[in-house]
A and B are shown apart, each in its own frame.
Chain A
Amino acid sequence: MENNFKSTGEYIASEELMSSVNIAMALEKPLLIKGEPGTGKTMLAKAVADALNKKLLVWNIKSTTKAQEGLYTYDTIQRLYDSQFGGENVDDISHYIKLGKLGEAFDSDEQVVLLIDEIDKADLEFPNDLLWELDQMEFYIYETKKTVKAKKRPIVIITSNAEKELPDAFLRRCIFHYIDFPNQELMEEIVKTHVPDIEEKMLKNAMDTFYEIRSYSQLRKKPATSELIDWLNAMMIGGIDPDIIRKELPFVGVLIKKDEDLEVIRRRVD
């Protein structure tokens, strides 16, 4: 295979995940990534782009984002302004068409990696509005009567936090991958790439405590990879003695963000 994704120096992917990425690329379908917050969904796209040495375009979705914005926008105000003050090229509408992220990805001469981040933040109908564009990799600009077609089919990675259900028609067109929370072994590998100069003892004690905390079922928000890494960094900077980690839980605020959860942990650890 010409394009093949493997773990990079900064991103450790499970075999399962690598296979999903490669399947999606081979079948030229968008890859939909779901998983607990903090398991590296957004990081994945960057890693894929780095591994394949391609440019990464990120389209961050917010609750107000409309599908149209990803394709193109027509700047009517600029045009009106220009017409009143005698700007150039006012006749040429294409001058006022600005491509969105999806448009940019289609228009690029080289294949790019397009990350549509947190698609579930948008309106319920949002994914449906992109069905044709993601399937055919083209869209039509009404104002200029032109079709923008992908020169090189971009690799599309979509992340979702499952805040909303995505429509079936959209799901059927995707390759789906659920990022499991990494087990201790994989996690050690991940941590070492981010915090390379960590002491073995500190790592071991911290990891044991971390997985113990995660096993408490009463927690409302379980700490995830990104919290663990922040926590380890904090403890290293603070020069914490590894032996007291389990007992004293230094900097636990980095790991646990909710008052109720802190309460639970204090009770369990004592």
Chain B
Amino acid sequence: MFSKFFYTLKAKGLDVSLSEWITLNRAVSMGLEGTSLTGFYYVARAILVKNETDFDKFDLAFEECFKGIKSDNANITDRMLEWLDKSEMMELLHEEERFWLNQQEDLHIDKEDVETKFKDRLKDQDSEHNGGNYWIGTMGKTSFGNMGGNIGGIRVGGTTGYQSAFAVVGARKYKDFRDDKMLDNRQFQLAFRKLRQFSSKLDIPKTELDINKTIDSTCNNGGYLKIEMERPRKNAVKLLLLMDSGGTMIPFTKLLNELFQAIHKSNHYKDVKCYYFHNCIYAKMYKTPECENGDWIDTEWMFRNIDSDYKVIIVGDAAMAPEEFYSETGNYRGPNGGLTGEQWLLLLKQHYKKVVWLNPKMAPGEAPWREVETAVKKIFPMYKLTVEGLNEAMVKLMTR
């Protein structure tokens, strides 16, 4: 039954399992959707989507599959199935509708055009207006306002009604929940919770008395004391945070500040160390984000004193000129230490077992115009600084 919807959901990146799909079919055959498209929308969403961050993807898939079914009358289910078989027709009707709407007022569905006209009209209008077809208001046919009938217009504020599935879908009100958006502090903290490795799972001596097990064993032992010990359960993860500071990173100051705060609030690490660098890592690491010369440590000192079992998170945009990366005199702020930026990074990789690079403005896929970024990607696994990227990076840090 309507398997096109299933594949559209998959194509939008929703991981719908077969068992959930069967549940949906069962629900529909039980008539739970109340034979209305809105009902179907809610039933399908409740069964198939398990995270509000995925609502937006679901809305997009739903719109793609069921676009064109406007009315929300009874017995829509049969028609829905029909539509899905003849999707070209649906497109056609949609076109027709659009054409008709455009005829009503010689507007072309051109975003910029609509926007300009919107602004002009906003200037002219000085009162509330509902139901007409020129002014901005509600329930009208003009391209502007909300709850209106025009397709491709601008929606002005307001919240969606519950009347029609498309009022909900079209509004894309779950857009902000998408997890490929930039993060806030709390989401950072949640992601960092992934970085846990309980010492009870490590190979260390059992030094703590396990009271519950002792009681159980003693009782099983007929009342004679039998002591049970266990490994202390503490997070054994140690973190080394290296942050790019200044220059091209300035637009991301707030984001980095949040990241920094989040790490300090997640006080469950055994140890956190933080150093700064400018553009690329060279012979010195700065102690403060101001990166003032003199207020620094030797990068080699860091290698010697901060063990290789620290997990390293490098945050930076990897945006620098190729000579800053490949030349032995490329560091224009401090000493190069006889090595190129690339060689320093390779040294770091050699020393630490787990390193990830987080980039707030990473180019998707291959980006030959960002030569250095591509080169850095070859050395360290690089992730974009979003919820999704950070989570992936944390998983990378935790896997052996």
Interface residues, chain A, CB within 8 Å of chain B? 14-16, 19-20, 22-24, 26-27, 29, 32, 34, 76-77, 79-80, 84, 162-166, 168, 171-172, 174-178, 180, 183, 220
Q: Which residues of B sit under 8 angstroms from A32, Cβ to Cβ?
A: 50
Task: Beyond the given A20-B46, A24-B46, A27-B30, please list 12 additional residue pairs across the A-B interface where CB-CB is below 8 A.
Answer: A16-B42, A19-B34, A19-B39, A27-B32, A79-B219, A166-B50, A171-B51, A175-B47, A176-B49, A176-B51, A177-B46, A178-B52
User: With contacts A14-B162, A34-B52 known, is A164 near B193, CB below 8 A?
Assistant: yes
Given known A20-B42, A163-B190, A177-B46, contact A27–B23 (CB-CB < 8 A): yes
Q: How far is the CA of A16 from the CA of B40 in the complex (A)?
A: 11
A172–B45 Cα gap in the complex (Å)?
Answer: 12
B46-A26 in contact (CB<8A) = no
Give the CA-CA distance A176 to B45 in the complex, in Å: 8
In angstroms, how far is the closest chain B Cβ from the Cβ of A13? Answer: 12
CB contacts (< 8 Å) of B345 on chain A: these are none
Please name all residues of chain B whose beta carbon is closer than 8 Å to the beta carbon of A34 when the two chains form the complex.
52
A–B Cβ pairs within 8 angstroms, 15 of them: A16-B162, A20-B46, A26-B27, A26-B32, A34-B52, A76-B220, A77-B219, A80-B219, A163-B190, A168-B15, A172-B50, A175-B46, A175-B47, A176-B51, A220-B185
B55 sits at the interface (CB 8 A): yes
Closest residue on chain B to residue A80 by CB atoms: B219
Q: CB-CB < 8 A to A14: which residues of B?
A: 162
> Which residues in B have some Cβ–Cβ distance to A below 8 Å?
15, 17, 19-20, 23, 26-27, 30, 32, 34, 39, 42-43, 45-47, 49-52, 55, 159, 162, 173, 185, 190, 193, 215-216, 219-220, 223
Report B31 CB to chain A, min CB distance, Å.
9
Would A15 and B162 count as touching, CB distance under 8 A? yes
Contacts of A166 in B (CB 8 A): 50
Nearest-Cβ distance from residue B164 to partner chain A, whole angstroms: 12
Q: Flag if A29 contacts B23 (CB, 8 Å).
A: yes
Closest to A179 in B: B52
* Chain A proximity of B97: nearest CB distance (Å): 27
With contact pairs A77-B219, A163-B190 given, residues A23 and B46 touching in the complex (Cβ less than 8 Å)? yes
Q: Which residues of B lie under 8 Å from residue A176 when comparing CB positions?
A: 45-47, 49-51
Q: Closest Cβ of chain B: how far from A136's Cβ, in Å?
A: 15
User: How close is A209's CB to chain B, nearest CB, in angstroms?
Assistant: 18
**A139 to B156 Cα, complex, angstroms:** 54
Q: Are B32 and A23 in contact (CB under 8 A)?
A: yes
Q: How far is the CA of A235 from the CA of B23 in the complex (A)?
A: 49
Residues of B within 8 A of A80 (CB): 219, 223
Q: Roughly how many angstroms separate A22 CA and B215 CA in the complex, as a whole number? A: 46
Which of B19, B39, B50 has its CB near the most chain A CB atoms (within 10 A)?
B50
Contact assessment for A172 and B223 in the assembled complex, using a CB-CB cutoff below 8 Å: no
Nearest Cβ on chain B to A43's Cβ, whole angstroms: 19
Partner of A23, one of B27, B185, B193: B27
- Given A77-B215, A79-B219: A23 and B52 interface contact (C-beta under 8 Å): no
Which residues on the A side are within 8 Å of B173 (C-beta)?
180
- CA A34 to CA B54, docked complex, whole Å: 13
Whether A172 and B19, one on each chain, are in contact in the complex, defined by CB atoms closer than 8 angstroms, is yes
A236 nearest CB across to chain B (Å): 27
Among B20, B55, B162, point to the contact of A178 (Cβ < 8 A): B55
Give bound CA distance, A162 to B193, whole Å.
Answer: 12
Rounded to whole Å, the gap between the CB of B269 and the closest CB of chain A is: 17
A118 to B288, CA, bound (A): 40
Closest A residue to B26 by CB, please name it: A27
Task: Report B-chain residues with C-beta under 8 Å of the C-beta of A175.
Answer: 46-47
Q: When chains A and B are docked, how far (Å) is the Cα of A23 from the Cα of B52?
A: 18
The residue on B at minimum CB distance from A181 is B159
Task: Tell me whether A76 and B162 are in contact in the complex, defined as CB-CB below 8 angstroms, given that A19-B39, A34-B52, A172-B17 are known contacts.
Answer: no
* 8 Å CB contact of B47 from A23, A76, A164: A23
State the CA gap A26–B33 with chains docked (Å): 11
Give the complex CA separation of A172 and B193 in angstroms.
Answer: 23
Instruction: Determine the distance from Cα of A112 to Cα of B12 in the docked complex, in whole angstroms.
Output: 39
Docked-complex contact A84 and B223, CB < 8 angstroms: yes
> By the criterion CB–CB under 8 Å, are B32 and A22 in contact?
yes
A267 CA to B216 CA, complexed, in Å: 60
Q: Which residues of B contact A84 (CB under 8 A)?
A: 223
Alpha-carbon gap, A26 to B29, bound state (A): 12
Q: Give the chain A neighbours of B51 by CB distance below 8 A.
A: 171, 176
Name A35's closest neighbour in chain B (CB-CB).
B52
Question: Within the complex, which residue of B23, B46, B193, B219 is in contact with A76, where a contact is CB–CB below 8 Å?
Answer: B219
Closest chain A residue to B185, Cβ basis: A220
Question: CA A177 – CA B55 in complex, angstroms?
Answer: 11
Q: A76 with B32: in contact, given A19-B42, A174-B50, A183-B159 (CB under 8 Å)?
A: no
* B55: chain A residues within 8 A (beta carbon): 178
B residues within 8 A CB of A24?
Answer: 46
- B315: min CB distance to chain A, Å: 23
Cα–Cα distance between A210 and B361 once the two chains are bound (Å): 36
Residues in A whose Cβ lies below 8 Å from that of B49: 176
